Amino acid sequence: MNEIERLIALLARLPGLGPRSARRAALALIKRRESLMEPLAKALQDAAANIRNCSVCGNLDTADPCHICTDARRDATLLCVVEEVADLWALERTGAYKGRYHVLGGTLSAIDGVGPDDLRIPALVERVSAAGIDEVVLATNLTVDGQTTAHYITERLAPTGARVTLLAHGVPVGGELDYLDDGTLTAALRARRAPEG
Amino acid sequence: MNEIERLIALLARLPGLGPRSARRAALALIKRRESLMEPLAKALQDAAANIRNCSVCGNLDTADPCHICTDARRDATLLCVVEEVADLWALERTGAYKGRYHVLGGTLSAIDGVGPDDLRIPALVERVSAAGIDEVVLATNLTVDGQTTAHYITERLAPTGARVTLLAHGVPVGGELDYLDDGTLTAALRARRAPEG
């Protein structure tokens, strides 16, 4: 396998790229050697050398503890539990959350044989038991595994006395009822509320 | 901008990846540091250092002239003209072509201000004039610019005496008439032929 084929084979292993788009990406890289290919090679090296999981919350950062865990302006009494770092990023992009995080690294899964000790659940229980955390927001996904995990964590955290909350379910902002699945509509109906103001 | 953001920004510049899929790709890379991230960094470095355009045909290879130009088993009297290296790869995957190539590096375009001297057209004319080339297959795309380029090259090559041919147009293998555009159907009708055998 020559240099081009090896590059294409590696690019094709990225999520979102198949063999065809990997070839297109490889050609784009070769065409823009100085402006894209060399900087990307360097960025990958730097990231591989410097990025690690935060030992407190599981976030990815060059610092450990990460910049969220060490940010004194964030509410240390509020903890949001997410499955993956991508979920943490999604919540950070909203700018609406000012507490800290705990990244589980997945969900419980009987089929895949993932138990509590394979996730960062023991560390979560320890963290909530030890520190002055008032509220834990469970922001796992609305999948069977995500909800099973949330249920399990709720039980494990009961002895700590911390308040456990869940993200609200309902109609997405801008969502049209006609295009929504039944489960979302049902959840939105059950959680109906009086108009504000 | 930190290491993760820089990596995502560079990945998002690859064709086929947007901001969202670039984030997913970055997380996949970080998760598979040793099996994917470090090999990809090395493959990019190696490719940037070693891959160049063949000075004869414009193909990308680590050798110059490239392995196609130096392959004595290939027919040196037959030359196929393509727009980009990706087109050369597509023809090579068929295994049906045993001549050599000439990569133009694009098409003539009045709008983008691309003239013959911006492409490898002078080199093509020189190559066909000098060497013992019997036939030039024009395999530019069936776009307005691609066909304009083919027409221009046909005129430029007329004095050389080489035979100029075009790829056949028609119904793609496996194609259903109902889903084909009118232009393709028209071309297939005009080029209709007697059944074989």
User: CB–CB of A15 and B2 under 8 A?
Assistant: no
Domain co-membership, A9 together with A105:
no
CATH number at residue B73: 3.40.1360.10
Token digits of residue B166: 């075009």
In chain A, whose CA is at the least distance from the CA of B105? A31
Distance from CA of A162 to the nearest CA of B (A): 31
Is A197 part of a structural domain of the chain?
Answer: no
Of all residues in chain A, the percent with pLDDT exceeding 90 is: 69
Domain co-membership, A44 together with A66:
no
Domain co-membership, B71 together with B132:
yes
Domain co-membership, A78 together with A169:
yes
Task: Tell me: pLDDT of A197 over 70.
Answer: no
Is B197 part of a structural domain of the chain?
Answer: no
pTM over 0.90: no
What's the CA dihedral at B114, B120, B126, B127 to 10 degrees?
Answer: -150
Domain co-membership, B69 together with B22:
no
Tally the C-alpha atoms within 13 A of residue B184's C-alpha that lie toward its C-beta: 13
CATH number at residue A18: 1.10.8.420
Distance from CA of A44 to the nearest CA of B (A): 6
User: CB–CB of B16 and A14 under 8 A?
Assistant: no
How high does pLDDT run on average in chain A?
90
Is B55 part of a structural domain of the chain?
Answer: no
Domain co-membership, A129 together with A156:
yes
**Cβ partners under 8 Å of residue A26, min gap 6:** A4, A7, A8, A11, B47
Structural domain of B92: 60-190
Q: Which of A57, A80, A78 is nearest to A67 (CA)?
A: A57
Tens-digit pLDDT profile for residues A109-122: 989 999 999 999 99
Interface confidence, given as ipTM, is 0.79
Q: Can you give the pLDDT of all 197 residues of chain B as single tens digits?
A: 688 999 999 999 999 899 889 999 999 999 999 999 999 999 999 999 999 999 999 999 999 999 999 999 999 999 999 999 999 998 888 888 899 999 999 999 989 999 999 999 999 999 999 878 999 999 988 889 999 999 999 999 999 999 999 888 787 877 777 777 888 878 877 777 776 66
Which of B1, B3, B11, B46 has the most A C-beta neighbours within 10 Å, making it the best mutation to test the interface with A?
B3
